[in-house]
Structure 1
């Protein structure tokens, strides 16, 4: 069958993990001054114009970032006409939920919930506030910190599941069992990190893999860190930027000469026994703003903080649908589906600034002018993207899994013969997230592809994807039962990759957009603010906040964090704790 050809031939042609061979491949040296400071004075001193609100606002893109932006801006400017442009039939982006009718082992009829994209969120103020505003609190399902779905997270290495420690201190038997597998090889590098030589002065970025190899041990990057980044970004640690994705580690070394030593020094700056933390000044200011503006019920927030993650009874698409309904009820937002953006450009007519937007299907486009636009669209020169296939599986047998937990991730160091499908990991949905299904059984999601599939001209079909998932589960978990329900989803170009040099590219991009659009175009979304749902919602909330009181006439393009430059500060940890600040406020 064709799947066999995929396994034996096509899979073997996938690019192998890069090796640490040359400094130029994994590091980025400064060749010219950063542009971050160029607009900083203007942004810092821009006047808040107390004038009329914008008459017309465009939101380009209807994913979770665009839909959230339309909601927040629609509330912020009730007298403005807002148009949301969505290329497809429905807003919501990659958040897609399906209910599938099944029978359990006893023949009981019911249904199970399959998530094609994100399935659970970590507690976050903006998202919590949004859920409360949408009236969804009673539909939230929590994964408590003591649940197996929170306590037990696994890494598959080299040919078995290894449970990661969930609490400190780690027991010696547990540590020894991990050590014997070889997964913890390189851990001694952490102890010698404070004495490693500080990076060269001209080095302005480095890959995650190179950073850990230089500061600690390459094996840590290969065996542990790469697994984590597979789960979050489906990306390659030898291509992703450490300055962007682990900025506190990067700047601890820059300021203190060492990550571990810097962390200790930060703690030594504590006043009156208060724990301290190391944060970007912009993030501290954002938390302060959220504290003042976001209202979250105390009981709801307490439940969230007692959990590692949460979802909704009908899946995360329930959030999208409720948000869409709320946008409709505002009365000042028009949602145009099947209206892809063909182009947009700055306008300056008779001294009036704005944005011209061309939308619609080829051969049937329309041109409109707006006072302000918020774009969530992709910028092709900023990041590449990866493609991920998810395979949802349901088995009537509730006892198929050898362990309970959230699931497992697969590091880049696992031999090809143990992972020819190029899997990223497996989520034990029936163990990790409770309260969504009406029947018992075992529910899994297999994730494949990501950076492993970079350069592929074609991807596995649904049939091939299903067979690959079953093959992987048989090898890793000894599951040979046939699933009675499944769904295969190929998400092409779904996750942006913050690769080496991203921060400088973003800074130059922000500088250019501020010059060209003079503040009338703002940017929100996973390519700019973080790949998670929480990141998108928080950035949409923040941009809407920036627009009020005449702020929409300022020169910001919405990417103010890069305009602040690398300003890191040591603050009491409770300043970054939404709940503690709320209680104090």
Structure 2
């Protein structure tokens, strides 16, 4: 999307790239003329979470004459992004019930562009790379908090962190890991394996259990012995299969050994390289001050929480006369029309307003249970009137699968020190914490904890781990049912088969996007929506793509310079 105020393109080494920008240089829909290229007259977006809102937003910019209908089964939009203000003694606090921060990673540029266009730049709050929340992250093992090393550590801080890891037992297995360059590569018949299996095979099982599993808990709430390494750690997987050494370490050194190269290189899929170039080309000309703020931060959010982003998209869409938003309108089915029109029939709504409607193009963000399973996570926000109740400063801590049951009978995944993690959202003084419970630990459970039980579990965990015995003055438990897709072993093959079926059944008139296909992060979903709409551009909406072009792209991975999105080219 090229904004009017972005028309002055910055000079860069990418100026000769032939990739076209996604959207026209005019973002005001009223500026488009009726003589523009053919467009789908009726478009449906299924789901009003961040993926659906972003899809509708980018689609509205690309097809200003199209009528767009958003179907959402719940009463409110925003999906898993839920920010809630609560009155407490001395003021207000903001509780995040789902995701709470964004990272300035390569896939965040489209998010940044969207923030800029929605005029939300002044609402962004940043956590500096030098902040304690950025430098101090902990793992609880086996019965204590252990600080992880940070890239910004001084030599004494680094030595202290390493000693803490050694004394707690977290470094058990590193001797075996040093043998990685001499270990044999995988069998050529192996097409995927679990994260736990891969890390154990290449490094050591202790490293998998103690260091990798807590990271996976924090991101996916999943089990390292079930999730796919090919999907979660694709670079490591493809490095092992790249070249002839069979070693991740050796192959990484080989692709970085060219005397003519400048900077680090990594293996990337050609589709991703092309998309990064398109993103860079699309986002040139953004305000330098905003980009500098993003480059200097570890994470960022908004004064009113991440809901400010989804609410901004909602407000923009509501102002567009061509957009209709239908809440409390669950989608019951979508089928290809049988009258030869190539349209898709949507059956949606609650009785007595349930109805069927034909659309020229449908973008679905709905869950597909035959592709992935989902896990349920309960978040418990707690606020205490006393300041500095937490014995350490930092972002929070994660809990490995290897922690003894008696140290984690609550089946928690991790704890976020919200008072440190995000500044500038609360007016009350105190200590704010979020406990994450469940995930894969609850797989197969017939009866999940009630909200009241969740609060007691959270308080019990904090008493044991942090010695917090004070009663909170405010709590906010939320059960996020089936919130995180699990990319289990074989996911990429299942995704490929799924894409082929969609293309065959709908001929390109049904396209999919969302955390089940593009990654579980907010940035992943927004970038996925942008990429999907880029494929609709011009006559692209008439093609056979289902939005999963990368899954069907079988080109081999190739070395490419590491892209630093917020640095000048």
Q: Give the structure-2-normalised TM-score.
A: 0.90
Is 1:328 matched up with 2:340? no
1:362 CA drift (Å): 5.2
Is 1:380 matched up with 2:366? no
- Aligned Cα root-mean-square deviation (Å): 1.4
Aligned-partner Cα distance in 2 for 1:334–1:513: 26
Is 1:110 matched up with 2:91? yes
Tell whether the 8 Å contact from 1:543 to 1:558 is kept in structure 2 after alignment.
Answer: yes
User: What is the CA deviation profile of residues 291-344 of structure 1, one whole-angstrom value per residue up to 9, with x for unaligned ones?
Assistant: 111243221111111111000000011111111001112221100111100000
Give the one of 192, 201, 204 matched to 1:214.
Answer: 201
Give the one of 144, 152, 164 matched to 1:160.
Answer: 144
User: What is the CA deviation profile of residues 434-474 of structure 1, one whole-angstrom value per residue up to 9, with x for unaligned ones?
Assistant: 00000211000000000000011111112111111111000
Tell whether the 8 Å contact from 2:38 to 2:538 is kept in structure 1 after alignment.
Answer: no
Aligned-partner Cα distance in 2 for 1:462–1:270: 59
Tell whether the 8 Å contact from 2:347 to 2:357 is kept in structure 1 after alignment.
Answer: yes
Unmatched tracts of structure 1, length 5 or more: 1-49, 104-108
Stretch deviating more after TM superposition (163-172 or 191-200)? 163-172
Give the one of 54, 64, 68 matched to 1:82.
Answer: 68
How many residue pairs get matched?
A: 525
Q: Where is the helix percentage greater, Structure 1 or Structure 2?
A: 1
Query: Tell me, what secondary structure is at the counterpart of 1:330?
Result: coil
Stretch deviating more after TM superposition (457-466 or 266-275)? 266-275
1:272 CA drift (Å): 3.9
Aligned-partner Cα distance in 1 for 2:486–2:213: 14
Q: Give the structure-1-normalised TM-score.
A: 0.88
Aligned-partner Cα distance in 1 for 2:541–2:124: 35
Aligned-partner Cα distance in 2 for 1:420–1:428: 21
**Distance change in 2, residues 1:273/1:320 (3 Å):** closer
**Distance change in 2, residues 1:59/1:178 (3 Å):** same
Q: Structure 2 matches for 1:114-513, cutoff 5 A?
A: 114-123=95-104, 124-167=108-151, 171-256=158-243, 257-269=246-258, 271-295=260-284, 296-347=286-337, 349-350=339-340, 352-361=341-350, 364-513=353-502
User: What is the CA deviation profile of residues 156-175 of structure 1, one whole-angstrom value per residue up to 9, with x for unaligned ones?
Assistant: 00000000000277733431
Query: Tell me, what secondary structure is at the counterpart of 2:432?
Result: strand
Tell whether the 8 Å contact from 1:520 to 1:552 is kept in structure 2 after alignment.
Answer: yes
Stretch deviating more after TM superposition (417-426 or 355-364)? 355-364
Is 1:98 matched up with 2:89? no
Stretch deviating more after TM superposition (251-260 or 158-167)? 251-260
Aligned-partner Cα distance in 2 for 1:353–1:500: 35
1:58 CA drift (Å): 0.6
Tell whether the 8 Å contact from 1:270 to 1:572 is kept in structure 2 after alignment.
Answer: no
Unmatched tracts of structure 2, length 5 or more: 1-35
Aligned-partner Cα distance in 1 for 2:159–2:94: 39
> Segments of 4+ in structure 1 off by > 4 A?
none
